[in-house]
A and B are shown apart, each in its own frame.
Chain A
């Protein structure tokens, strides 16, 4: 059986390195507040946006459509890197791609979806106020991360724990 939607195996290593690096830097942004140390503010095109705190009549400023606004693009770059490299890493062919690997991948994806939405539901019910904004940030790639961790763990077990018999 041939699966056609997977990325070639040669992308796996490089996307894995980019994924982990970008994810650690993004964590740095949240935990160590890199945002105030490095600034990549530039003009960006927005479909819908606002002029920011104190930029207009209301609290969040005026809403603008199809305009250039000022924004720090570091988080945009990091999230683009995480999503693209995460998808490629999670859905790249294994060295020995066969139907059992496809089965393990599908199984991991199903469990990652269930786990992710269980966590989201829990957070939705018990986290309120501005802190919930953090939940929404994490929810952007939590499913991808849970899937990758689960799939790698299952593949690790698949490769190691089965005894070799002649």
Chain B
């Protein structure tokens, strides 16, 4: 699964730590998400979408192997 969290974060001018604090996870989790090493739960995906004011589909995208 691909995501554009890093881009959205840049648009909203947030550091990884800021974003982590807003959605109450650790900075390492944001890092793992951006690196595509971790697929978030639905709850976390919805929290991100709400914070960035986008739909989940606009942030996350399926890849061929999913």
A→B interface (CB under 8 Å): 1, 96, 98-101, 103, 158-159, 162-166
Contact = CB atoms under 8 A, between A and B. Distances in A.
A67 to B, nearest CB: 54
B26 A100 contact: yes
Interface residues of B, number: 17
B11 to A, nearest CB: 14
A100 B32 contact: yes
B29 A98 contact: yes
Contact of B29 (A1, A99, A164, A166): A99
B15 interface: yes
Interface in B3-40: 15-16, 24-29, 31-32, 34-35, 38, 40
B26 A101 contact: yes
B24 A98 contact: yes
A162 B31 contact: yes
B41 A96 contact: no
A41 B41 CA distance: 54
Contacts of A159: 28
A162 B41 contact: no
A163 B32 CA distance: 10
7 contacts: A1-B44, A96-B26, A99-B40, A99-B41, A100-B25, A100-B29, A103-B38
B26 A165 contact: no
A164 B27 CA distance: 9
